Amino acid sequence: MCGITGILHFNKEKTIDKFILTSMTEALRHRGPDGEGYYISNNIGLGHRRLSIIDLESGDQPMLDKEHDLALVFNGEIYNYLELKSQLIKLGHKFKTKSDTEVILKSYLEWGVDCLKHFIGCWAFSLWDNQKERMFIARDRLGEKPLFYTSWNESFLFSSEMKSFFQIGFPRNYRTELIELYLFLANIPGPYTFYRDINKLLPGHYMVIHGRDIRVRKYWDIPQIDEKDLKKDKKEIYREFEDILTDSVKIQMRSDVPYGALLSGGLDSSSIVALMSKISQHKVETFSVGVPDKSFNESDIAQITAKRFNTSFNLHYLEPIQFEDTLNNLSTIFDEPFGDASAIPAGEISKFASRKVKMVLTGDGGDEVLSGYTAYLGLKYIAFINLIPDPIYALFQSLIDWSSGLTNNNIRYKLNGIGKFLKTSKYSYEKRTIEKMALAEYSIIKKLTEPIKDKISIEDYLHDFFRGCAFKDDFYKVMYYHHKHSLPDDYLVKVDRMTMANSLEARIPFLDYRLVELMTTVDKSVKQQRFERKSVLRKTIGKILPNEVLKAPKKGFEVPLREWFKDDVVVKNIKNIMREQAIFNEKIFNGIVDSNQLGEKDYGNFIWTTLMLAKNIDEKYAIANYGHY
């Protein structure tokens, strides 16, 4: 993995300032500490920071094809590069390196922009074709690798991270109209960013810039077939699933440097480790993180998996965070508000693993591909609840609400969760989605954002979002949401930034597009048999996993924020930060913090989300500053 940047001046007479390009590229040093490279030709400049994984000696970038006047900077990996290389050689192409980067160049020469359809991997790249005087930029199908772009000062700029733009004085004019969306989603959904005039290239899309003409095109999307045509042949599905996942793990283990696996103790990462151990001729290095709170800790089960597959097990216990240092560090890493607090342990395990290896495979994406979240099981419970007569339903709901008021802390949290589930069970799908995703009550978030003018409401956003969904059944709508929003805007952002912040490459076998295309066309009766999560994985790789893994309840890779935010000193700091920024009504926000501290409600994640917003809203950034560019 690497970091890429670039500048294309619309005025062909304007030459590239190498100092500017170097500053943009240097901002990405953490993504590529092993080397840097530049391509400058009149009004075109490309920059690259390298993390060497494949072809350590001849894989430097930008990579040039002087015969055809091409220049390429590339972040990611093409996992099937050896197979493509063999195919391209048969078609008459000659290679000078052993790298997957050169495979992209030759694929472009052979197939043009359709080369994207031939790649299995993760990528964001920019290819300058001097003969056609155009720039070709592309992002992988699922959005594993980031790509930001903007038009500014009569130029087109792109980068792996927005900090490249800020490094040269790009104004941080934030978009207050996105704050409601952020508080509900805990992230800024693409193609938006929190800053005006900066966009994210969406997954499965590419761009062609020719002169001042900038065109964005979609080249891939998840299949959406008629629900009556979804696959139900279990035997064939199991065979195809196991074949693809095994091949995905195999080709993603290609590396010229030491590598390992992140092992949480869950079903997904355990399956990846099982396959790696089966394929590898050496002990697999596995890395796990533990927390003192047993309700969040999976390290014991991770150790059982590590022992079963004879891995070299490395365990790191997460220590109590230094509150302000962690907050400041993460706001810098993400460049914009990002509220998923599991970034904290993700960063810790990435830092821990990077001391020993440069690349890891992870179990991320399994919940999305396998429809494994508890939300899918919840749909079955909702179907039963909707059979209960309304008077009995209302009585039971009142009883739960009354009982929760007599307790606090863990029992109250559980009763609150049950009450919320009952309340939303009668809602329409979109309204239920809004209530479920919210980390605080719907009414509270609406009150907090009431003063914001011209805001994009969560209702309007989801209404537009689901226009692209052809599925009618709520099960497949949840699947669509997870693939189109949760993955690219939350989980993959977290994985990319936290691993890259520690100069560690993460590979995700579950997100092989062949697997995604298979599983999005599988009927829910096969994916979820009775009340069993991830039935397809359990019926295949699950057969060789320890029983402890198969029986363990689902846990998120999270930290106990609600407990950390009960500390008097931390609470005081939180209130001071929000008072200084004056984003929300102070009385309402302090009420949230106090309720969490008293153990009445679990607002830990919501408080964290608001703090990440506060750290990104600072008047010194809101002032337009065009710097020296």
| Conformational region of residue 531, where left means phi above 0, alpha means psi within -120 to 50, and beta covers everything else | alpha
Q: 507 to each of 4, 206, 322, 358, 492, how far by Cα in Å? A: 18, 22, 29, 11, 11
Give pLDDT, residue 58. 58
pLDDT tens digits, one per residue of 509-550: 999 999 999 999 999 999 999 999 999 999 999 999 999 999
Strand ordering across the sheet containing 63-65: 63-65, 70-78, 121-129, 134-139, 205-210, 213-218
CA distance 141 to 517: 11
- Tell whether the model's pLDDT for residue 56 goes beyond 70: no
Closest CA to 307 of 350, 265, 349: 265
Q: What is the pLDDT of residues 68-77, one digit of tens each?
A: 999 999 999 9
Paired tokens of 356: 């020993």
- What sign does the dihedral 97-98-99-101 (CA atoms) show? positive
What tokens does 52 get? Answer: 């060497």
Q: Which residues belong to the active site?
A: 2
Name the one residue in this structure whose structure tokens are 């891995």.
311
How do residues 585-625 score in pLDDT, each as one tens digit? 888 999 999 999 999 999 999 999 999 999 888 644 333 33
Vertex 198, ends 197 and 202: CA angle to 5°? Answer: 125
- Average pLDDT, rounded, for the chain: 91
Alpha-carbon dihedral 11, 14, 17, 21, rounded to 10 degrees? 20
For the domain spanning 2-162+198-218, the CATH number is 3.60.20.10
Per CATH, the homologous superfamily of domain 227-372+479-551 is: HUPs (3.40.50.620)
DSSP state for residue 321 in the 8-state scheme = P
Pairing, β 199-200 against β 2-9: unpaired
Token pair, residue 587, equals: 């009385």
Query: Which DSSP state fits 484?
Result: I
pLDDT value of residue 481: 96
Per-residue pLDDT reduced to its tens digit, 290-343: 766 665 566 888 999 999 999 999 998 877 667 778 888 999 999 999 999 999
Query: How far apart, in whole angstroms, are the C-alpha atoms of residue 40 and residue 62?
Result: 10
Whether a cis peptide bond, with omega within 30° of 0, leads into 62 is yes
Question: Rounded distance, CA 456 to CA 480, Å?
Answer: 21
How much is the pLDDT for 60? 83
359-361 and 259-262 strand pairing: parallel
Q: What is the largest CA-CA distance in the chain?
A: 78
φ/ψ of 125, rounded to 5, equals -145, 160
- Which of helix, strand or coil describes residue 121? strand
Residue 21 has what pLDDT?
97
What local confidence, expressed as pLDDT, does residue 628 receive?
A: 28
- 195 forms bridges with which residues in the sheet? 174
pLDDT grade for 557, boundaries at 50, 70 and 90: low
**3-class SS of residue 469:** coil
In whole angstroms, give the CA distance from residue 497 to residue 340: 12
Is the full-model pTM beyond 0.85? yes
- DSSP, res 487: I
DSSP 196: T
| Cβ contacts of 437-440, under 8 Å, gap ≥ 24 | 437/184, 437/185, 438/183, 438/184, 439/183, 439/186, 439/339, 439/603, 439/605, 439/606, 439/609, 440/183, 440/592, 440/603, 440/606
Check residue 450 and report its DSSP letter.
T
Q: Report the relative pairing of strands 199-200 and 148-152 from DSSP bridges.
A: antiparallel
106 close to 97: Cβ distance less than 8 angstroms: no
- Token pair, residue 581, equals 């920024």
Crossing angle of helices 409-425 and 390-404, in 10° steps, is: 160
User: Tokens in use for 431?
Assistant: 């309204």
Number of Cβ atoms within 10 Å of the Cβ of 162:
23
Contact 363, 190 (CB under 8 A): no
CB distance 206 to 219 below 8 Å: yes
The residue assigned the tokens 């590529």 is 32
Domain boundaries, the chain: 2-162+198-218, 227-372+479-551
Instruction: Give the residue, 381 or 543, on which the prediction is more confident.
Output: 543
Give residue 593's pLDDT: 93
Contact in structure between 626 and 171 (CB atoms under 8 Å): yes
> Of 321, 285, 332, 261, which is closest to residue 510 (Cα–Cα)?
261
Q: Which tokens go with 476?
A: 């497949």
CB 353 within 8 A of CB 262: yes
Closest CA to 240 of 228, 252, 227, 231: 231
State the virtual CA torsion across 533, 539, 544, 545 in degrees, nearest 10: 0
Q: What is the DSSP letter of 313?
A: E
Query: Quick check: 55 pLDDT over 70?
Result: no
H helix intervals, 27-127: 81-90, 100-111
